[in-house]
Amino acid sequence: MRIAVLTSGGDSAGMNAAVRAVVKQAIVRGCETYIVREGYEGLVRGNLEANDNGTANGANNDQSGVCTPPRPEDQGVEANLRFGYGGLLRDGEGDSTDPTSGKSLKGRYIVRVGWDDVRGWMGEGGTIIGTARCAAFRTIEGRTTAAHNLIKEGINALVVCGGDGSLTGADKLRAEWPQLVADLLSKGSITAEQAEMYKHLMIVGLVGSIDNDMAMTDLTIGAPTALHRICESMDNISSTASSHSRAFVIEVMGRYCGWLALMAGVSGGADFVFIPECPPTADSWEDEMCAVIKRHREMGKRKTMVIVAEGAHDKNLNPIKPDKVKDILRERLSLDTRVTTLGHTQRGGRPCAYDRVLPTLQGVEAVNALLESTPETPSYMIGIHENKISRVPLVEAVQQTQAVATAISNKDFATATRLRDPEFKE
């Protein structure tokens, strides 16, 4: 099996550990491994330069799209250990060189990798292989080009590490694959032999997102690190808030999901938390919040911390913005109030220990799931449930995640909250 791995959507701490685990486990299991730079964008762009002697990728490709099998000396464990680009992918697009052939890697997005390439990746933040939010992949033309590029490289299995949007894309690619192959064949872009050889694409999803917004898994890769960052920031804010007896309104990320905000509220000792799934029930959230904070102050608290999830809104779906909360605290409770937007400090930086362990276990499981996949088995998403690595049908997880957004837009907050429960079953 030839396995490619890509990271997509917003980066999250632990994505490098996931890529590393996939690459190493694939090699251990006798597969050839590739990374796709820049997420789906890299799949659509493919390898623009002709690779005339096949040294770099172990496959002999040319611009016509004809792919011949790799040379014998480029196959097997020995070759996998030999293919070391030695951190060259960090250099940025354009100036990397394949040490074996001396050729430039410029314009090549699907790159063969070996054991040494991922050395030291475990503790690195972000995603070394790059990520992008790719508009082209959302079109059928883009996905057809992506399919062609995969076939040109002889790849028949894909691991996608990303959030719900990225995994929705993966699910779509698998569902459409037979049609894409048929279209490529009818256009003469691939041969009948290739159409037969690549009639199935196996896909497995790993959930990389700080938001922890994916259904059917307890935790997503990167969420624990982001939470830890927020918690540290709250500790820092706490001491200055206490010194001046001030109030702070802290905006945290999470898109439509309140997990980061809620957990930050618990771990940082917030007075009030606004999350999208469960807005304040009172007719006036202002009254509800002020009553709670007033009580806390009367009990002797010198500081006030209010967490606002970036997707927070009231029960009528009107956004609740940090500046508005600040104005209310100032005007109604006379609190000296500041706003802190934590922004991308939550997303970047080194992964915490758990964001190394989780992606490592899940990356190993992803490769095992691919090797056990048949055309009849569904694409799996690798999750974690009750501390055990789990495999669930990707399509179900994607649908259930989308159902939360639908429930919120229908103001059905009880359903939204229920759907967020990892135990939820229809």
Site of interaction with ligand F6P (CB under 6 A): 10, 163, 209-211, 253-255, 310, 347
User: Is 164 marked as a binding-site residue?
Assistant: yes
User: Is 211 marked as a binding-site residue?
Assistant: yes
User: Is 345 marked as a binding-site residue?
Assistant: yes
The torsion region of residue 349 among left (phi > 0), alpha (psi -120 to 50) and beta comes to: left
End-to-end Cα, the chain, rounded Å: 35
User: Is 142 marked as a binding-site residue?
Assistant: no
Q: Which has the closest alpha carbon to 72: 32, 19, 44? A: 32
**Measured from the CB atom, is 41 or 310 closer to ligand F6P?**
310
Q: From the CB of 377, what's the least distance to ligand F6P, in Å? A: 29
Beta strands (DSSP E) in 177-318 are 202-207, 247-252, 272-274, 304-309
Tell me how many degrees the CA angle 22-171-180 measures, rounded to the nearest 5.
Answer: 105
Q: From the CB of 347, what's the least distance to ligand F6P, in Å? A: 5
**Measured from the CB atom, is 88 or 231 closer to ligand F6P?**
231
Q: From the CB of 213, what's the least distance to ligand F6P, in Å? A: 8
**Measured from the CB atom, is 148 or 347 closer to ligand F6P?**
347
Residue 377 in tokens: 């088995």
Q: Are the C-beta atoms of 15 and 359 separated by less than 8 Å?
A: yes
Helix or strand (DSSP H, E) at 390:
strand 388-393
Q: From the CB of 127, what's the least distance to ligand F6P, in Å? A: 13
User: Is 255 marked as a binding-site residue?
Assistant: yes
User: Is 165 marked as a binding-site residue?
Assistant: yes
The half-sphere exposure of 281 on its side-chain side, counting CA atoms within 13 A, is 4
Helix or strand (DSSP H, E) at 418:
helix 413-420
d(CA 94, CA 91): 8
Identify any residues that bridge with 202 across adjacent strands, giving them in sequence order: 157
Backbone phi, then psi, for 417, in 5-degree steps?
Answer: -65, -40
User: Is 344 marked as a binding-site residue?
Assistant: yes
**Measured from the CB atom, is 23 or 223 closer to ligand F6P?**
223
Residue with tokens 């960090």: 90
**Measured from the CB atom, is 151 or 261 closer to ligand F6P?**
261
- Give me the sheet containing 272-274, strands edge to edge: 272-274, 304-309, 247-252, 337-341
**Measured from the CB atom, is 39 or 163 closer to ligand F6P?**
163
Q: Which has the closest alpha carbon to 221: 149, 122, 98? A: 122
Give helix then strand counts, H and E, for the chain.
13, 13
Q: From the CB of 346, what's the least distance to ligand F6P, in Å? A: 7
DSSP code at position 344 = G
Q: From the CB of 128, what's the least distance to ligand F6P, in Å? A: 17
**Measured from the CB atom, is 156 or 220 closer to ligand F6P?**
220
d(CA 35, CA 19): 8
User: Is 246 marked as a binding-site residue?
Assistant: yes
211 an active-site residue? Answer: yes
Residue 399, class by beta-carbon neighbours within 10 Å (0-12 exposed, 13-18 middle, 19+ buried)?
A: middle
User: Is 133 marked as a binding-site residue?
Assistant: yes
Q: Name the catalytic one among 98, 171, 211, 271.
A: 211
Q: From the CB of 164, what's the least distance to ligand F6P, in Å? A: 9
Which residues are annotated binding-site positions for ATP?
10, 133-134, 163-166
Which residues are annotated binding-site positions?
10, 133-134, 163-166, 209-211, 246, 253-255, 310, 338, 344-347
* Catalytic residue set: 211
Which residues are annotated binding-site positions for substrate?
209-211, 246, 253-255, 310, 338, 344-347
